[in-house]
Structures are given as C-alpha cells and as structure tokens.
Amino acid sequence: MTFGPFEIILILVVIALLFGAKKLPELMKGMGQGIREFKNEVKDPAAPAPGQPTQTVVSAQPAAPVTPVVDVASRQLDPVRIDPVTGAPVVNEPVVQTPGERR
C-alpha cells in the first residue's frame, strides 16, 4: 500500500489539529533525536550514548578476612542424626503433641 500526496497531506493536517502548531516542533525534535540515537546504536552498539556518563573501572581492594559466626544456642543442642536412606532426622522416642502444644 503506497501513500499518495493527498493521503500524506491529510495525515499532516490531522496531526497538526491533534497536537497544535506549538507542539509540532518539539515532537519533531524528539523524533529526530530518537532516530539519531537509533542509527548510532545500529552503527556501534558498544559505544555509550553521548548524554550518558561513561563507566569507570575501579580496582578492587582485598576484602577483610571473614570471621565465622558461631551461634551459642547451636552448641548446646544435641546433634541430630540423619537417616541416610530417607534424609529425615532419626527420632529415638515417639513425638506426641497434645492439642495445646500445636503451633
């Protein structure tokens, strides 16, 4: 489908009526900048945009040594034995909950 001169003029008149004569230069300027940025990205996608700050590489400082945190409460608990077949904790005594103990 091709547009003839009459269709193009009609589209321009509708755009002028919708946005007004004052907004048209701003719209065209924004459209031109968008097209220019698109062309620049197509030519060299690795290059930063002109308005964006460039990234700087900062050399990494060695981190402070990590000190392990030991929970005092875990030292006082009995070790839990794990069943090698099921992976579930092994319980020697039956666990019975009363209705008041349910969480």
Residue 91 has pLDDT above 60, yes or no: yes
DSSP type of residue 24: H
On whether residue 87 sits in a domain, the answer given is no
On whether residue 93 sits in a domain, the answer given is no
**Would the pTM count as exceeding 0.75?**
no
On whether residue 14 sits in a domain, the answer given is yes
Q: How many domains does the chain have?
A: 1
Amino acid in the structure at residue 40:
N
On whether residue 25 sits in a domain, the answer given is yes
On whether residue 53 sits in a domain, the answer given is no
On whether residue 29 sits in a domain, the answer given is yes
On whether residue 33 sits in a domain, the answer given is yes
Please give the residue range of the domain that contains residue 11: 5-43
- Using CA atoms, how far residue 62 sits from 39, 65, 69, 80, in Å, is 42, 9, 21, 38
Q: Which two tokens stand for residue 100?
A: 């008041």
CB 24 within 8 A of CB 15: yes
H helical segments located in 20-99: 24-43, 72-76
pLDDT reported for residue 34:
94
On whether residue 65 sits in a domain, the answer given is no
**pLDDT tens digits for range 39-84:** 988 888 776 656 666 666 666 777 777 777 766 555 555 567 777 7
pLDDT reported for residue 95:
66
